[in-house]
Amino acid sequence: MSAKSCVRLAAATLLLSASPVASFSFAPPTPITNHALSRPTLSALGPSSHRHRGSSLSMSTAAAAVEESSDDKDPPLFESFLKGIGRDYKMRLPLYKSDISDGLNTQCLAATLFLFFACLAPAVGFGSLFGTVTNGAIGTMEMVSSTAMCGLIYSLTSAQPLTIIGSTGPVLAFVATLVKLAEKLGLPFLPLYAWTGIWTSGILLASSVTSASN
């Protein structure tokens, strides 16, 4: 036996003696079945746990079925007269009372006061800008009063989700363009602005009663 073989044998003996916990074996490893690790036993669970799990599965299955049916049945582009509006009000009327009664608390009062000033500030700001653009034809008082009336009517009669009540930047740009158009055509601004609003309301009304907004 050479010197290198003796050194290797001594090193292997020292390693085996230093780690008594480790054991070396040339036997093939025992196969581990998948079901022993991935499939826990349910025998320890009581009947209430099985019922709870079954109800959760049934609820999730029902919710998935409802979502799938709602996705499959899209509303048509056009419907019969007032059918879409009637459907919206039919869904909202049972909740109309709770929409008012649930708001009679201090938290909703704080939110109402916040929204009041959140709607008042843009009305005052845009009102001054409208007064400059329209040469005083539409000012702060007109903007505040129109925002208040539109918000009141919308909140009492609308069956749709929350939308923007009041003026915005694009509306200001449109009014400024309409003022220049009235000056070029030699027409009074306020009648032109009123007829523009009437035609817009008529188009929106025709779209809503025929469900063309779908």
Q: Tens digit of pLDDT per residue, the chain (214 long)?
A: 555 555 566 656 655 554 444 444 444 455 444 444 444 444 444 444 444 444 444 444 544 554 554 445 777 778 888 888 888 888 888 888 888 888 888 888 888 889 888 889 989 999 999 999 999 999 999 999 998 998 888 888 876 666 777 788 999 999 999 999 999 999 999 999 999 999 999 998 999 889 887 7
CA dist 30 and 27 (Å) reads: 9
Q: Which helix (H) or strand (E) holds 171?
A: helix 169-185
CA dist 207 and 84 (Å) reads: 10
Instruction: Write down the pLDDT at residue 89.
Output: 84
- 212 in Cβ contact with 81 (< 8 Å): no
How many other β-carbons are positioned within 10 Å of the β-carbon of residue 87? 14
For the entire predicted model, the pTM comes to: 0.57
Instruction: Write down the pLDDT at residue 188.
Output: 95
Longest Cα–Cα distance of the chain, Å, equals: 119
CA dist 160 and 89 (Å) reads: 9
- 211 in Cβ contact with 76 (< 8 Å): yes
CA dist 190 and 188 (Å) reads: 6
Q: CA separation (Å) from 92 to 85, 100, 103, 131?
A: 11, 12, 16, 39
- Which residue, chain included where needed, has tokens 């320890």? 44
Q: Which amino acid is at 56?
A: S
Instruction: Write down the pLDDT at residue 118.
Output: 87
Instruction: Write down the pLDDT at residue 104.
Output: 86
Compute the radius of gyration of the chain from its Cα atoms.
Answer: 37
